[in-house]
Every structure is written in C-alpha cells, then in structure tokens.
Amino acid sequence: MASHEGKPIRVALLGCGTVGTEVVRLLTDQAADLTARVGAPVEVTGIAVRRPNKHRDVPAELLTTDAAALVASDDVDVVVEVIGGIEPARTLLLAALRAGKSVVTANKALLAEHSAELFEASDASGADLYFEAAVAGAIPLLRPLRESLAGDRITRVMGIVNGTTNFILSGMDSTGAGYAETLEEATRLGYAEADPTADVDGFDAASKAAILASLAFHSRVTAADVHREGIASVSAADIAAAKALGRTVKLLAICERVPVGGAENQTTVGGAEDQATVGGNGGRTSADGATEGISVRVHPAMIPTSHPLASVHGAFNAVFVEADAAGEMMFYGQGAGGAPTASAVLGDLVAVARNRVHQGRGPRESAYAALPVRPMGQTPTRYHISLDVADRAGVLSQVAAVFAEHDVSIAAVRQEGRVDDASLVIVTHAATDAALRSTVDKIGGLPVVREVVSVMRVEGEET
C-alpha cells in the first residue's frame, strides 16, 4: 500500500440516504478536525445514488449513478458503503477490496451472509474492512469485541439490537399504541430498513446476531445459522399478560457458549434441522462427551421490569457482554437513525484513513475456533404460556400432567376465574424448544383447553 503522508484520503460514498446524508454532513462540518485526527485531509470524490435529482443538498458534480465506475476510479482510496442489501453492494465492495481500497460499511445483511469472501478479498490485498455501524448504530460494540476483548474469553452476548422493533414494542407497552402506526413512525424517523419486514420479522437482528457471534466466538456464523423469530406474533394480549406478571416484552438477540452433542443433548430431538451446523474443531470436550458450541438466536421474550434491558426504550439498543476475566459489561446508546449511525461510520473512516496514512492495518477475520452452532430444538429456555380453559375441577391437573409427561417442569401457575371459563398462566423452568412444542401441541388438543392464547420465552431470570 502506497504511503499517503500529507496526501488527501479520497473517499467514494455509495448511497446517500438516511445514513449517507449524515456522513456527508459530518465530513463537511468536521473537516478541519478530521484532517488533524487522521493526519491528512479526508475528501469525498464521488457519491453514488440511484436518483441524482433527489439529492439537492449535495454538490451535483459529485453525484453519479455509476457506482462501479466510481469504485474503480484511480481517485478513490476508501469506499464507504451505505446502500444496504446484498447486490450491488457485494460486487462493489469485493471490487474495492480486490483493488486494495479500504472499505467501511454499515451493511449487516451483507456481512451476515458474505463476510467470508469479503474478508478473503481484504486479506488478499491487505485493504481494511471495517463495519462498526452494522450492529447497534452509534454504540461502539464491534471494536471492543474485535480488539479490546481479544485477549479474553467471551461467554455470552445478549441484548436489544434492533431499534425499530424496540420502538414498536415500547410504544405498545407504554401507550398501548398500535403496531402499524408505530412502525410508520419508526420508518419516518429513519430507523427502519428499506423493507421494514427485515426489522419486524427479525432478519435485521439475526444478521446482527450472526456478526456478534462471529466476533465474540471466533467462528464463522451466518444469518442462516441464527434461530429467528420476529415480533409480528406479539399481541396486545401478550404485552398485557407480561405486565400483569411484572414483565415486559423485548426482541432479544442471544449468543452464548453452550455444550453441543453430549448425552444430555442427544436425548431430546432428531432430524436434519436439529443437527448442529458449522462444523469445526469441536472446541472443549466435557465429561459427558459434549463439546463446546454456541447458541445464536433472536426471539421476543418476556423479561422482568427490574431487568436493565427492560428500561431500554424507543430506538435505543443495549447489549450485555460477559467474559471470563472482564466479567459483565453493558453497552448502551442510540441503535438506529442517520446521525448516530453516521457517527460509527465516521469512526471507522478515521481508523482506515489513519491506517492508510501510517501504512498500518486493522484486525483481520478471526474464525479459528469454528465452533458448531447448537440447533434451537436443543436449546433450553423458560416459557410463559397463557391458556383459556374451562373453569372446573380437575382442569389444572390435566394440564399439569401433560407438562410432566414431556418432562417440562412448572415454576409458577396463576389462575383467574371468569364467568364460565378461566385464564391459566404457566411459567416453566428451562425446557428445550422441542419438548415445549410437543407439550403445547398436546395441551392445545385437550377438551378442557379452549385456546392457547400465547406462548413466549422468558429471559433474564434464574432457571
């Protein structure tokens, strides 16, 4: 890589929407400070968009619709990608890296599917690949995982990583606002993805969970490895049921080290979807033959209102990281929106620009551990089950018998009688997804059960 001492760092910006507009603003407003911090001026040499006529605040001579030509231009040292989606972003970034141009991207969907080939291209040319903005907006989280905690053994990463769904759930919980109107507001505020189903169906959080797990556990985890449930099925009744029990509903991303394939895990399920994915070196082996693996999942869960994540409202994100030596850490801040995300992009841009000026290089991919991902069917979690049942003698014992039959242990039961039926709420101890599914299927078929009103995981409490 040629030395850039004193010469400007020339930036191609791909995309100028919610995030890109703020990147341009920060680069302009802070030009003098950035020059001092980098050791060279940082100049935008071109901005690729789809509809140039829409971008009246940007100098017209910088705009182009030919992103590929901009990336290939000799006048570009760094490519900042804030288009989103897989193509053309993937092709453009591979071209940039192969040509030795550093890349900064906020594109979690791309990284969660194609990080291996992007890292390979980055390694081949020695160009940097930075992506702090891809997870949790403004919050410095990936740099701590990639660098600050590189000497520790991370055991768990858990948190709220999608601002849009947290905004929706917070609204439903606090003001009883409707799902559709809150989603519309999140879109207006620039939190939602171009296709908001990526947020509400959990794809965005699953991409982020894949990135977090890859970095935390030094393994390649893709979005396809992540168990994913969105918030579309979370009803006002679920939220009310949670409230009645001193809980609230959050969409959580959970990545943790777990045993895989031991005696305990082999008794529960079979079938292709229950086999551990991501073959690897197997990690550590315990006395019962289980090796170390990881569980990576995204789903709504009830958490106690006393839990620190319960007070994370609106588009804010918060992530707990647990590591052997460091103990527990919590990262909190704005998880979405143009300016917060642009802050993370600029942080990366300064880092890669400094690397170019001083001929250094950022961290490479670290995937040596190659830990297998444990199937969700073998992952024990606690559940909250709400049933409408006939209000007569013997109902509770029939329901309890089905739990016992499937070896699902009940932690708490609450029953409220109504005129001719009753509401029965059961909270379980930790049970596997597979055992719980069979239990609920059988309970739903009992003549005394009128309706299975809701089934939701419970997190943040002792098992």
| Choice between 159 and 375, CB closer to ligand HSE | 159
Considering only residues 315-344, where is the footprint of ligand HSE by CB under 6 A? Answer: 335-336
What does the binding site for ligand NDP look like in residue numbers (CB under 6 A)?
Answer: 14-20, 48-51, 54, 67, 82-84, 88, 106-108, 133, 137, 190-191, 193-194, 336-337, 341
| Choice between 31 and 194, CB closer to ligand NDP | 194
Closest CA to 102 of 63, 128, 132: 128
> Tokens for 124?
């081949």
250 classed as catalytic? no
How far apart are the C-alpha atoms of 106 and 348, rounded to whole Å? 10
- Given a contact cutoff of 8 angstroms between Cβ atoms, the answer to whether 344 and 140 are in contact is yes
Which partner from the list ligand HSE, ligand NDP, none does 18 bind, CB cut-off 5 to 8 Å by kind?
ligand NDP
Q: x/- contact string, 87-126, with ligand HSE (CB under 6 A)?
A: ----------------------------------------
DSSP run (H or E) holding 178? none
Q: Concatenate the DSSP letters of all residues of 118-155 into one string.
A: HHHHHHHHT--EE-GGGSSTTS--HHIIIIITTTS-EE
How far apart are the C-alpha atoms of 11 and 215, rounded to whole Å? 27
> Tokens for 357?
């000026």
Selected catalytic residue, list 54, 208, 243, 442: 208
Position among 45, 105, 122, 162 found at the interface with ligand HSE (CB under 6 A): 162
Alpha helices (runs of H) in 147-202, residue ranges in sequence order? 163-174, 179-188, 197-200
| Choice between 191 and 383, CB closer to ligand NDP | 191
Distance of closest approach, residue 62 Cβ to ligand NDP, in angstroms:
13
Q: Concatenate the DSSP letters of all residues of 268-336 into one string.
A: T--SGGGS-BS------B-TTSPEEEEEEEEEEEEEETTSGGGG--TTEEEEEEEETTTEEEEEEEE-S
| Choice between 191 and 320, CB closer to ligand NDP | 191
Residue type, 63: L
Closest CA to 292 of 369, 231, 380, 361: 369
Which partner from the list ligand HSE, ligand NDP, none does 67 bind, CB cut-off 5 to 8 Å by kind?
ligand NDP
Distance of closest approach, residue 106 Cβ to ligand NDP, in angstroms:
4
Which partner from the list ligand HSE, ligand NDP, none does 50 bind, CB cut-off 5 to 8 Å by kind?
ligand NDP
Which partner from the list ligand HSE, ligand NDP, none does 164 bind, CB cut-off 5 to 8 Å by kind?
ligand HSE
> Tokens for 438?
């069979």
Position among 46, 137, 333, 377 found at the interface with ligand HSE (CB under 6 A): 137
190 touches ligand HSE (CB under 6 A)? no
Question: Total number of residues binding ligand HSE (CB under 6 A)?
Answer: 11
Which partner from the list ligand NDP, ligand HSE, none does 199 bind, CB cut-off 5 to 8 Å by kind?
ligand HSE
Sort residue 227 into left (φ over 0), alpha (ψ -120 to 50) or beta: beta
| Choice between 58 and 389, CB closer to ligand NDP | 58
**Residue owning tokens 């197997």:** 282
Distance of closest approach, residue 298 Cβ to ligand HSE, in angstroms:
12
Closest CA to 132 of 459, 362, 371, 384: 362
**Interface ranges with ligand HSE (CB under 6 A):** 137, 162-164, 191-193, 199, 204, 335-336
List the catalytic residues: 208
